Structures are given as structure tokens and as C-alpha cells.
């Protein structure tokens, strides 16, 4: 991604197209409710995320999305960077200001959480 973004910044239209395509596909791994990026997708498609959100994945995606804005200035890319930052500030930061390392994919251990992550913010926060 860094190579494609750098080449796009220097006028390489093919690299810009490749970077846009990848950044757009990666948007499907962004949690539409809380922000933050799911760790990866499964089954070889972008539309089936594994719901864990690991700090290093957040940091890398924030760096790539924010860093791509000069070469590929698009509102979707800016919004993605802001959503990741919001997730870090609101859900991955402890009350004393330290960062947590991850948000687990399994709300209930051993159970797939797709239904949970399809809920609204209010529904997710309801006591169990």
C-alpha cells in the first residue's frame, strides 16, 4: 500500500487505481457502528470479517488511511481514518488513558458474533 500510495502521489495512475481499489475494499472491514477495523476477512472475500479488533491493526490502518489522503483525497478515506481514531479514543482507551490491546471477536466465548456486530450501538450496550 505504501508503495502504491507513494507512486500515486507522484502521478502514477495505475498505482492510484490499485490503492483506491484496496482502500475501498478494506472499508468493508470497518465497524460501521463503533469504528475500528476488524482484524481480517474470511472465506477469501472482504465481506466476511473476523470481528476481533487488535491495536496493531488499528494503528496500521489509521496510518495508511491518513497517509493516503494527500495522494488520494476522498471523503470515504478521511471518514475511515476518523472512525478508527474515534474507536481508539472511545472504546480502546482505558479510564486512566492507557490503550487496551484488543477488542475480542467473541462476545460469548466459542460463539460466532456476527449477530452482535450487526446490532446498533444502543443494542450492543444493553446489559446481558
| Full pLDDT tens readout for the chain, 128 residues | 999 999 999 999 999 999 999 999 999 999 999 999 999 999 999 999 999 999 999 999 999 999 999 999 999 999 999 999 999 999 999 999 999 999 988 877 777 788 889 999 999 988 87
User: Does residue 96 fall inside a structural domain?
Assistant: yes
Q: Domain range spanning residue 24?
A: 2-122
Please, what is the end-to-end C-alpha distance for the chain in angstroms? 41
What is the rounded distance in angstroms from the CA atom of residue 66 to the CA atom of residue 81? 6
What is the rounded distance in angstroms from the CA atom of residue 15 to the CA atom of residue 7? 6
Q: Provide the β-strand partners of residue 102.
A: 54
User: Does residue 101 fall inside a structural domain?
Assistant: yes
User: Does residue 127 fall inside a structural domain?
Assistant: no
Pairing mode, strands 53-54 and 102-103: antiparallel
Burial class (CB in 10 A: 0-12, 13-18, 19+), 34: middle
Residues 80-97: b if buried by 16+ CB within 10 A, e if exposed? bbebbbebbeeebeeeee
User: Does residue 128 fall inside a structural domain?
Assistant: no
User: Does residue 64 fall inside a structural domain?
Assistant: yes
User: Does residue 46 fall inside a structural domain?
Assistant: yes
For the chain, how many structural domains are there in total?
A: 1
- pTM of whole model > 0.85? yes
Amino acid at each position: 500500500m505504501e508503495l502504491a500510495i507513494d507512486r500515486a502521489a507522484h502521478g502514477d495512475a495505475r498505482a492510484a487505481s490499485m490503492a483506491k481499489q484496496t482502500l475501498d475494499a478494506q472499508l468493508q472491514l470497518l465497524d460501521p457502528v463503533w469504528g475500528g477495523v476488524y482484524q481480517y476477512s474470511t472465506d477469501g472475500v472482504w465481506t466476511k470479517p473476523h470481528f476481533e479488533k487488535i491495536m496493531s491493526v488499528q494503528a496500521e490502518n489509521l496510518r495508511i488511511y491518513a497517509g493516503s489522503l494527500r495522494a488520494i483525497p476522498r471523503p470515504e478515506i478521511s471518514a475511515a481514518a476518523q472512525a478508527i481514531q474515534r474507536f481508539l479514543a472511545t472504546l480502546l482507551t482505558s479510564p486512566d488513558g492507557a490503550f487496551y490491546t484488543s477488542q475480542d471477536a467473541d462476545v460469548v466465548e466459542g460463539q460466532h458474533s456476527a449477530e452482535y456486530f450487526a446490532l446498533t450501538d444502543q443494542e450492543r450496550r444493553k446489559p446481558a
